[in-house]
Amino acid sequence: MTLPTLAGTLMSGTVAAQTSPAFVNTLMPEPAHLTEGAGWLPIRPGFAVATDKFHDQRLDHTIARAMQQLTQQTGVVIREAPAGSKAALIISVDGPGEPVQGVDENESYSLDVTPQGAHLHAATDVGAMRGFATLLQLVQVSGQGYYLPTVSIQDAPRFPWRGLMIDCSRHFEPVNVIKRTLDGMAAVKMNVFHWHLTDDQGFRIESKVFPLLTQDGSNGLFYKQEQAREVVAYARARGIRVVPEFDIPGHATSWIVGYPDLASAKGPFTIERHFGVFNPVLDPTRESTYQFLDQFIGEMATIFPDAYMHIGGDENNGVEWAHNPRIQAFMREHGLKGTAALQAYFNQQLLRILDKHGKKMIGWDEIMTPGLPKDVVVQSWRGFDSLATGTREGYTGILSAGYYLDHMDSAADHYRVDPLPAGNKLTPAQAARILGGEACMWGEYVDAKNIDSRVWPRTAAIAERLWSPQSVNNIDDMYRRLWAESLRLEALGLTQISQENASLRALAGTDQIAPLQTLATVLEPVNFATRAEWSDAHHVTTLMPLDRLVDALAPDPPSRHDFEELVSTYLQNPVAHPEQQAALEAIFRSWTADQPERVLLMAESPQLAETLPRARQLTEMGTMGLEAVGFLSSGVPAPPAWKAAKLAILDEADQPIALTRFTVVQAMRNLINEVK
Ligand code: ACM
């Protein structure tokens, strides 16, 4: 099932050229209100854009960037006319927005398109950015040219905090990766980049005050301060806040390699290479720890202007605190019963320091300890119930449970998770304390090469959940628009589609990879738990390359949902669906074709050979699929025991091999089960 067969068949109505204009809505996220009218505004030479109200440098740059994208999309050079001129596209912005973008930033906009012209209105530069993102997604194509449809859009986000966290500690992500990620976030109207900069496996931000943090804790892979400032500016230009995370007191091994006096146990320490929860933890009993943190946070506050600083706070196992007699004595002296109480004490000291430097605290669920003021934001990785408990106690929160991209769940799974699920028992005041959510890209099994395919396009589905009205929840329609958005994201410079084939070429050592592509399009990585278990058993470390087939494969590729949809439509009435029958037969034939070539390619590559049984299984599924369609479309029953034998083959195919799993097994079961 290469793109020309399955995806080509199913996507032709979505993005391919059409002979007469018909508005195909591929907006993602869907706007709050959209009314469609009659007629079209052509985008052709002479098309100009002008502001008629406020403009500043940020807005000018936003317009220039959007028009450059529009030019690339259409081949039509868009003219930027002087402010106040007549133009096909008029931009009316009331003012600049907040000097440091905050949770209260006004991101609303309206966009009115008629055959005579288009008008984008926003209260702030940031609202204009959101409007441009919509405008670029609205562009339609026919054989004759490019058009904007006649629409009236009034739009504003459902939640003010729509974030993406990237863990750059376990694997470092270069600045160019971060920048293209920010481009993708802006395209789907996300507004918080949560930068997980420190963890056991690496300290990734330069401190001039404490140079040993990166000298001893990063293997030379870290962001210089000017690079971090560049990222902050790049993000601001796109209406995105940058919230840095310095994860303490646990997950802090990389701090103490260079500064062992911060530790709760005796050194020396080395950078952690494995994954999991480890004992090293900062010493919360010494004044010197707080003097250090005061200076460090003060320094970081000069780089990161956001009101919030993330202090982590998660997964401190308390082991070193419990085993250190000096720390135990401190706890007795201060009446601190248990290590959770000691962490609460630590948070109180930290809060003072953050406050001194003008920062508000955000941390993971574990920071919700008695005595913490209610204006901290709790990021819930433990689930809605934990978040709801927090809001009942008066805390503000965001949801990340259900949005863990490293779990390798489907876009649909993430899409169904709502920060305010239907039927929640929160009062309006409690519900208002839920600010939104963040997708989380933990870095155990991602590197600069494959991160795009782990983040995109699934994050676009989460972005829609956080921006669009709750009533926008049709999974099939989400996927239809998601594939369209994925193509647009690649045009922006992201690599989530192209990387797979590039990696397959590298693995196979040839550009003749078609037989391999057919297999790769129906495989995806196993879930996080399966991979973590395997990694523990095999002592996997950060130093090992991510260069196996599993690392090249995209999670939740089009094959899963689109194949399920095709099978489901076909099964509604197999004898009366010749189009679906033909599409299925074409797919099954592609699975059985080129089998000897596929086996040869895989057998000759050490990294691919471990996945070899998948080639046989693909052929078996193709063969049984053709047989099943033959029985179903003709109404002829299968021989006795046929069904049981095929279901047994599917059970075998459903087992992980070399950390890969098939995307099509469930739909194949549905198909086989319908055979009489
Ligand atoms: C976390 O997943 N430990 C925040």
> Does 315 participate in catalysis according to the annotation?
yes
Does residue 315's CB lie within 6 angstroms of at least one atom of ligand 1? yes
Contact (Cβ atoms closer than 8 angstroms) between residue 272 and residue 220: no
CA 381 / ligand 1 centre spacing (Å): 6
For residue 514, give both structure tokens. Answer: 């078609």
What's the rounded mean pLDDT across residues 400-414? 98
- Give yes or no for residue 552 having a pLDDT over 90: yes
Give the residue among 482, 651, 659 at the shortest CA–CA distance from 672.
Answer: 651
Please give the mean pLDDT across all residues of the chain. 95
Does residue 381's CB lie within 6 angstroms of at least one atom of ligand 1? yes
CA 442 / ligand 1 centre spacing (Å): 9
CA 314 / ligand 1 centre spacing (Å): 6
**CATH 3.20.20.80 fits domain 163-473:** yes
Q: Give the E-state strand segments of 408-458 in sequence order.
A: 434-441
Domain limits, the chain: 17-155, 163-473, 498-673
Mutate which of 278, 314, 366, 386 for ligand 1? The one with the most ligand atoms within 8 Å of its CB, which is: 314
Q: How many CB atoms lie within 10 A of CB 486?
A: 21
Contacts 24+ apart (CB under 8 A), 368-371: 368/393, 368/395, 369/340, 369/341, 369/343, 369/344, 370/344, 371/344
Task: Tell me how far apart the alpha carbons of residues 212 and 149 are, in angstroms, rounded to a whole number.
Answer: 57
Q: List alpha helices for 109-211, DSSP H.
A: 125-138, 175-187
Classify 399 as helix, strand or coil. Answer: strand
Closest atom of ligand 1 to 312 CA is 4
Choice among 315, 620, 627, 674 that is catalytic: 315
Peptide bond into 249 cis (omega under 30): yes
Q: What is the DSSP letter of 262?
A: G
Least confident of 13-22, 389-398, 549-558: 13-22
Where residue 6 falls among pLDDT bands split at 50, 70, 90? Answer: very low
Q: Which CATH number fits domain 17-155: 3.20.20.140, 1.10.10.10, 3.40.440.10, 3.30.379.10?
A: 3.30.379.10
Helix (H) or strand (E) holding 62: helix 57-74
For 66-90, how does the pLDDT look when each residue is reduced to its tens digit (9 = 90+)?
Answer: 999 999 999 999 999 999 999 999 9
Place of tokens 């809001």: 391
Q: Nearest 5°: CA angle at 432, between 427 and 433? A: 105
Look at residue 12 in the predicted model and tell me its pLDDT.
38
CA 233 / ligand 1 centre spacing (Å): 28
For 190-205, how does the pLDDT look when each residue is reduced to its tens digit (9 = 90+)?
Answer: 999 999 999 999 999 9
Q: Give the E-state strand segments of 409-522 in sequence order.
A: 434-441
- Give yes or no for residue 206 having a pLDDT over 70: yes
Does residue 314's CB lie within 6 angstroms of at least one atom of ligand 1? yes
Closest atom of ligand 1 to 315 CA is 3
Task: Tell me how far apart the alpha carbons of residues 257 and 272 are, in angstroms, rounded to a whole number.
Answer: 10
User: pTM to 2 decimals?
Assistant: 0.96
Closest atom of ligand 1 to 442 CA is 2
Does residue 56's CB lie within 6 angstroms of at least one atom of ligand 1? no
